[in-house]
Amino acid sequence: MDIKALVAQMTLEEKAGLCSGADFWHTKAVERLGIPATMVSDGPHGLRKQDQAADHLGVNDSIEAVCFPAACATAASFDRDLLRRMGEAIGDSCQHEQLSVVLGPAVNIKRSPLCGRNFEYFSEDPYLTGEAAASFIEGVQSRNVGTSIKHFAANNQEHRRMSSSSDVDERTLREIYFPGFETPVKRAKPWTVMCSYNRINGVYASENRWLLTDVLRNEWGFDGYVMSDWGAVSNRPAGVAAGLDLEMPSSNGVNDKKIVEAVKAGKLAEADVDLACERILNIVYRYVENAKPDTPWDMEAQHALAADIAAECMVLLKNEDAILPLSKADSIAFIGEFAQKPRFQGGGSSHIHCFKTTSALEAAKGLNIIYAQGYDVAADAATDDMIAEAVAAAKAAKVAVVFAGLPDAYESEGYDRSHMRMPECQVKLIEAVAEANPNTVVVLHNGSPVEMPWLDKVKGVLEAYLGGQAVGIALVKVLFGDVNPCGHLPESFPIKLEDNPSYLYYSGEPRGTEYREGVFVGYRYYDKKKMDVLFPFGHGLSYTSFEYSNLRLSADCIRDTDALTVTVTVKNTGSRAGKAVAQLYVGDVEGDVIRPVRELKGYEKVELQAGEAKDVTFTLDKRAFAYWNTTLHDWHVETGDFTIEVGASSRDLPVCARVRVESTVKVPVHYDADSVFMDIMKDPKAVEAIRPLIDAMNATFRHEYDQDSAAKEAITDDMNDAMMNYMPLRGVLSFGGLPGEVLEEILRKLNG
């Protein structure tokens, strides 16, 4: 298909029309030229295809589909292959349902536990986010179905999401909020990108040329089309000029007319409209020419796959006295309505109409299970009778398992949480059950961290996150030991909300929100502050144990253009098979730039039989050591030593080594009269240029010191050195007795 020739045949009105949807879910057809319409559908953990009049948030029923675990859960798997397999399954579903693009994955960083949409996002860490998203996209697009990575960019809250400005400095954008998009765009080549509702530093994402063209296309090489989030367009002609190709949903012709008027008035280049049409049609025909509507969709098989995936994602947070796994021979109490009606997905545009669900109570049929409802989700209450029934069940059982977490109303698209607490009725239930039976385990169904005032009163905690429609099968397999838990937290669990680095400024003010914590998001903040947390980033226990040893580096010193190979031995020191997640963190030991103590730069999941050991290898490139330099407007490595730490979490890193990295890029420096001696003296060449100033200043200090006996007592050598270090060059005019001409000549030499 010659797309350029096709666009050349279109009228301006047809081209403008192609740049917006036909309705909520379809691109426009141009029947005169045989251009077909294609359909997109919400995702990303299943299909929410609506065949009836659409409403975006799912009040109207969508087709029956399979709900896989949400991103909050799949990120906890730390498993690229798992995400790829899930993507393949969703891609097959899309082909069967004749969908050209699935709207996902969502890769915004979890800046705060309060974000109502955190259940759709992967992690607080940009590296983990980028790796997970790339794997998912590769899986979906291997089926010749597109993805729409979203929401670009800095969409980290639901409060005022359609108008608020995310005010973020350049370095923080590049290091924290962009990599989750950059890595998948470069590696997995998503067919489309969805821009966010919000403004970035005052400019709407939908009309931000720097964002959509300079960064996304010119720097990262994106070659698909950019679509708006539903209703995210403010100024449509400005959006076309900025690089927003497709407006969704339809504006009923209003914005199409504005595009035509802007072109005719000379305010918008028709070439920009042509380019938007070409990008849209490239993707339309990429799907149409590879459509396979006869692709089978075996929902039962996908239900089983969803269960397998969910089991790989569950995080064992606490396991005192090896309370888990449970014995199938024992009497076990399942307490809590979530045991019978699990919360397994979030609310809003990603809500799936499941063809079936399996609860833990149903999956445990045939075992010796005593059930008590414990609380009423709809009423958000636990009556005295419910508590009494739960206590009786707990007393009658060997182990009591309380299924708890957050109801749908607590976290959803469209609004943020106001606190990090669980429902009071559930806290009351957990405490009552734990008092009745010391062998109590809590299973959590939630999309983001919760406070746990009851933690010391229970022996076990299993984080299930939002595990999809087959979560009950997965839970029973993990609880009873058929599956060894191997998930690790993709986010820190703070002790209380106030500990979170964004706490003071998170929701912002009517105009916008300031990202004052900068690069110190999540564990980067907690580790820098040496703060206690409830559970650290990367934490996850197993029914076996692992040992890390024999850390080897391919070199002790490298240039920033070289690759470093890191190898570590991981051994299963327990009595049963299990999977370890080896996490590699890099830290800058001596740089001048304020940086986190450590940052995740690699991870590998490895399966080991009891007693088995394997070597795990990582390859680190320049980006593993670099920070974003706002002078260069590029990634830069400071010459110096870096730590390489490997272990099971950000706070369990038993092996460590150091490597020296030599920078091959010199940051340009311009000296002026306000430059201080301490900074200039770091450059050996500059030291020679300012030698006359140093001598003059030292002579002055020595003279004053020798002439004044009081000065000998009041001014120490350390004080003299400090005064010299912090002195600006202009100080020589007052303290060194040198004429201004000498200073001007020295500045010419410094900057020559």
For 342-356, letters b (16+ CB in 10 Å) and e give bbbbbbbbbbbbbee
Question: Is 736 in a helix, a strand, or coil?
Answer: helix
State the catalytic residues. 229
DSSP-derived secondary structure letter, 500: S
Facing residues of 65 across strands? 354
Inter-residue contact 619 to 673 (CB < 8 Å): no
Residues facing 660 on adjacent strands: 557, 641
C-alpha span between 746 and 75 (Å, rounded):
56
Please provide the DSSP assignment of 466-492 as one string: S--TTHHHHHHHHHTTSS------SS-
Angle at CA of residue 505, ends 502 and 508, nearest 5°: 130
8 Å CB contact between 103 and 296: no
Beta bridge partners, 48, equal 42
Residue 417: closest CA among 449, 463, 371: 449
| Dist. CA 258–CA 262, nearest whole Å | 6
The pair of structure tokens assigned to 15 is 């081209």
Structure tokens at 235: 């100024």
- At residue 375, the 3 state secondary structure works out as coil
Three-state DSSP string of 585-637: EEEECCCCCCCCCCEEEEEEEEEECCCCEEEEEEEECHHHCCEEECCCCEEEC
Paired tokens of 291: 């459509």
